[in-house]
Structure 1
Amino acid sequence: MGRAFDKGWLNETYFILMFITSIIFLLGIIFVGIGVCMSLGNLRMKTVGNRSLFGGVLTMLAGMAGMFGLYQLIINTMNAEKITVYFPVGMPLYMILTMLMVILGVYIFVATPKADKSEKMEMETKYKLFLMLMPFLALVFAFSYLPLFSWRYAFFDYEAGGELSKDNFVGFKWFLSLVQNPTYVKRIVRVLRNTLVMSGLGIATSWVPMFFAIFLMEVKSVRFRKLVQLFTTVPNFISWVMVYAIAFAIFQTDGFINTFVNQIFDTFNVAEVLCAIVNNFSDIVNTEGAIGFINKVFGTKWDTNYLMPTDFMWVKMLLWGIWKSLGWSAIIYISSIAGIDQQLYEAATVDGAGRFQKIRYITLPGLLPTYVVMLVMSIAGILSNGMDQYLVFATPNNKKFIEVLDLYVYNLGIGSGDIPLSTVVGMTKSIVSVALLFVANKVSKAIRGENVV
């Protein structure tokens, strides 16, 4: 459509009509949703809801009629031979469903008895709570379950902008290439190594938020506790792009560290002072070697880019992750500590137990069920490290160390345009993650006698 507009084959009117008909259709969906929600109330609310439902269905029908009319207008334009217009395959189904909704709306509108106009519109509390939950359920469905529909790309030789048909159906070709192609196998092994190492480090340090929560709750100063909790929780709400920007400003060649050190050395003539001190001990110190070392370290400009070296790259990524999520991850343990019976602490105090004994015999056992649940969930998500952190910190030098599975899927699909193969990798990861969840649940059942899910 954009190319057709640039070439002058379609004018601005077509786009305006397209936006108008789309908005009309969306308004119809909104009115239908409002009507369905109001049908959970009393008779007075149901009556008003039926009007909204019926009006919404008619609005949807008008929007689809406008879309169909626009389609006919475009294919009959004088430049139709230059424009390929695809009729939506789902449009007939949507029109049939809308017509059925019209019939159903008329029936409900007629069959519902008239309500007393003096009656107030009311709804039971359980329905109100359910409707409050619905937007979040819709978001979960849209971002967690609806993308599963794209798994079909794994069975086609698909390219961006193309269509799926029996002509490009390839079955399990991409699944086989993932395990038979030596190049792909080598990359997958490297990516899995990075993924499992990073997840393993995360699991090995999963106790840190729990002990941090214990530390906070043991602090007697409420003001200091809230201040620490604030400064450790805020980073969770900062995007990884901003985190990398902060890291870049601090650790780059002209960053804060190098600039600060260079100013200190220049202001106080550190190299000259140290050389003078060394010369005073020329009898017992190799002055030539010592002065050379001093001039090398303190007499030259510091211009190291601390983000470039690949040494201990996994540990660096782990520390960045802990710094960002420590305060937020500790909240659930703080809530668990608040839920422990305070009479246990009072009884322990009477028995002469000290602070560390209370932590050992009361706090830690009280937090153990929560920790086990979090541990099981982290084991189930061992293949999901996220992508944002590794994407912003990735460079050609450290890519072989921090390219985890999620980043590899992104690079395949978005970077290389290899959508079918990236779908296969993502699909396999999801299936394995679900299997790991059930395995971890069985282990929890065997150890604790309780299921997690």
Structure 2
Amino acid sequence: MISSNVSLFTSAVSYNSLTSEFARAFRMNWVSESSFAVVMIASIILVIGIILLGVGACMSLGNLRMQKTGAQFTLGGSVAETLGLVVTVVSYMLVNSSTDPTKANKILPQIPTAFYGYAVLTAIMLITAIVVFTSLPSVDKGEKYEMESKYKLFLMFLPFIALAFVFCYLPLYGWRYAFFDYKSGDTLSMSNFVGFKWFTYLFQNSATRTDMINTMRNTLIMSFLGVGTSWLPMIFAIFLCEMKNLRFRRFVQTFTTIPNFISWVLVYAVALAIFSTDGFINTFLKEIGVVAQNAQGKAWLMSSKHTWLKMWAWGTWKGVGWSAIIYIAGISGIDQSLYEAATVDGAGRFQKMRHITLPGLLPTFFVLLLMAIAGCLSNGLDQYLVFRNPNNMDTIRVLDLWVYDLGINGGSIPLSTVIGMAKSIVSVALLFGANSVSKALRGESIV
């Protein structure tokens, strides 16, 4: 009855998550609640063991002193893992003994098959840790903890690799839903395996095909508006760095960067206060006599006209300051002697911007341009979800919003998974295609 979605870490830190499915069993005294405290203790010990093993593995990359200390951590982690497995068996026995015999058909403790594989792996690690710890020579008392720079950099980069794997590559396991006739709450089995049914349905169903064409039109137009104006943050950064008044420059940079940290819900609230029928714009027009006092205000925000341009404008306002930061960092890395030499040669401010600053930023710009082209099918969801209304439904729905509507609102998880798969494959193809064009034209590539 323990949910298959509860991880080992969750079992160690959240007793409520561990026992969320046992409320009725505890209330009816079918099983003892105290026995699950032992399960949680076993989980805590196993998590501590994994942490110690990780620390030991990292320290094994250092010098002899670090390797010796790392071997101690590894040995301690292996012992903790062994103890955790023993406590797990004890918890199984406690749950089994505390189960009401008359309800054995409802509460039947089981040890998963993976437990035995984990136990074998733990035994191998324990034996290996003992061998390594005993085989390492003694360490001089004066020897310090040291590690080569390449290993330090690798360990610093390791958490980001782990995050990228968890959030970018591990979700690809969900692609299997595209091959099943799955509904929320069902299980995946050969009884609901449908092969490529949803792949063909995407093109054979006329309504879905029409929605796809309309959605792709909106997605590509809005993306190419962004790609076509991707030079704006670079130009903004160049002119910002040319400001002589340092206090005013910091104010402008802060003022233009803050919108990036405002959620799209709050942005929409601001837009509603300004552009609604009784918002600031309509009220101001009535006050100055442009619009009659009793006239109905114009629905600037709810209108379906120029939806693409409005979405681009809001996105640019929100992100231009943040996107300029990388160019400001690039400008600070340009050799200042080039500006000094240009000044001696009589170059003006705009000449230095054109012949020094701009060429110095172009490599950065082209890298970001390639990434923008690769992500042209990923417009995001939040902006279009909050600005959507019945009037602009046909012109604001982008690919991510369509996937959301199909999967979350419509419950068609397999079809939304198929669309997500297609988007990922096309994005990778666009990245390599744009990279090949860049390599052919500029002789440089990022892949």
- Class of the TM-score when normalised by the shorter of the 2 chains: 0.7 to 0.9
TM-score using structure 1 length: 0.84
- How many corresponding residue pairs? 423
Match of 2:34 among 7, 10, 13: 13
1:441, CA displacement in angstroms? 0.8
* Residues 158, 420 of structure 1: 8 Å contact kept: yes
Q: Does residue 195 of the first structure (1) align with residue 216 of the second (2)?
A: no
CA distances 1:53-101 after superposition (whole Å, capped 9, x unpaired): 1222232333344445545655672234335877645433333322222
Which residue number corresponds to residue 13 of structure 2? none
* Residues 32, 95 of structure 2: 8 Å contact kept: no
Distance 1:184 1:67, change over 3 A: farther
Distance 1:298 1:227, change over 3 A: same
Which residue number corresponds to residue 29 of structure 1? 50
Which aligned pairs between 1:410-425 and structure 2 lie closer than 5 A? Answer: 410-425=404-419
Identify which range, 209-218 or 117-126, moves more after superposition.
117-126
Which aligned pairs between 1:1-400 and structure 2 lie closer than 5 A? Answer: 1=1, 2-6=20-24, 8-9=27-28, 12-13=33-34, 15-71=36-92, 74=95, 77-78=99-100, 79-83=103-107, 88=112, 90-117=114-141, 119-252=143-276, 255-257=279-281, 261=284, 265=287, 297-300=291-294, 306-400=300-394
The 2-side partners of 1:178 and 1:72 are apart by: 51
State the secondary structure of the residue aligned to 1:417.
coil
Which residue number corresponds to residue 444 of structure 2? 450
Letter paired with 2:66? M
Which residue number corresponds to residue 11 of structure 2? none
Letter paired with 2:23? F
Which residue number corresponds to residue 289 of structure 1? none
Identify which range, 155-164 or 172-181, moves more after superposition.
155-164
The 2-side partners of 1:396 and 1:357 are apart by: 50
The 2-side partners of 1:219 and 1:423 are apart by: 49
Letter paired with 2:375? G
CA distances 1:420-441 after superposition (whole Å, capped 9, x unpaired): 2222111111111111111101
1:216, CA displacement in angstroms? 0.7
Larger Rg over CA atoms: 1
Identify which range, 64-73 or 326-335, moves more after superposition.
64-73
Identity of aligned residues (%): 57
Could you tell me which runs of 5 or more consecutive residues in structure 2 were left unpaired when the two chains were aligned. Answer: 2-19
State the secondary structure of the residue aligned to 1:186.
helix
Match of 2:426 among 423, 429, 432: 432
Letter paired with 1:448? R
* Residues 390, 407 of structure 1: 8 Å contact kept: yes
Of structures 1 and 2, the one with the larger relative CO (CA 8 A, separation 6+) is 1
1:380, CA displacement in angstroms? 1.2
* Residues 75, 85 of structure 1: 8 Å contact kept: yes
1:208, CA displacement in angstroms? 0.8
The 2-side partners of 1:191 and 1:354 are apart by: 48
Letter paired with 1:180? Q
State the secondary structure of the residue aligned to 1:121.
coil
1:388, CA displacement in angstroms? 2.2
Letter paired with 1:39? S
Identify which range, 337-346 or 417-426, moves more after superposition.
337-346
Letter paired with 1:143? F
Identify which range, 108-117 or 382-391, moves more after superposition.
108-117
CA distances 1:187-229 after superposition (whole Å, capped 9, x unpaired): 2112211110110100111111111111112211121111111
The 1-side partners of 2:164 and 2:265 are apart by: 24
CA distances 1:291-339 after superposition (whole Å, capped 9, x unpaired): xxx6xx2322766554322221111111111111111211222233333
State the secondary structure of the residue aligned to 2:437.
helix
State the secondary structure of the residue aligned to 2:259.
helix
Could you tell me which runs of 5 or more consecutive residues in structure 1 were left unpaired when the two chains were aligned. Answer: 272-293
The 2-side partners of 1:261 and 1:349 are apart by: 49
* Residues 36, 91 of structure 2: 8 Å contact kept: no
Distance 1:179 1:74, change over 3 A: farther
CA distances 1:245-286 after superposition (whole Å, capped 9, x unpaired): 43344444565555x639x83xxxx66xxxxxxxxxxxxxxx
* Residues 36, 95 of structure 2: 8 Å contact kept: no
Identify which range, 174-183 or 319-328, moves more after superposition.
174-183
| RMSD value, Cα | 2.8
The 2-side partners of 1:6 and 1:409 are apart by: 37
Which residue number corresponds to residue 8 of structure 2? none
The 2-side partners of 1:339 and 1:256 are apart by: 44
Displaced runs of 4 or more, over 6 A: none
* Residues 4, 83 of structure 1: 8 Å contact kept: no
1:350, CA displacement in angstroms? 3.7
Identify which range, 329-338 or 432-441, moves more after superposition.
329-338
1:175, CA displacement in angstroms? 1.4
TM-score using structure 2 length: 0.85
The 2-side partners of 1:182 and 1:74 are apart by: 55
* Residues 55, 74 of structure 2: 8 Å contact kept: yes
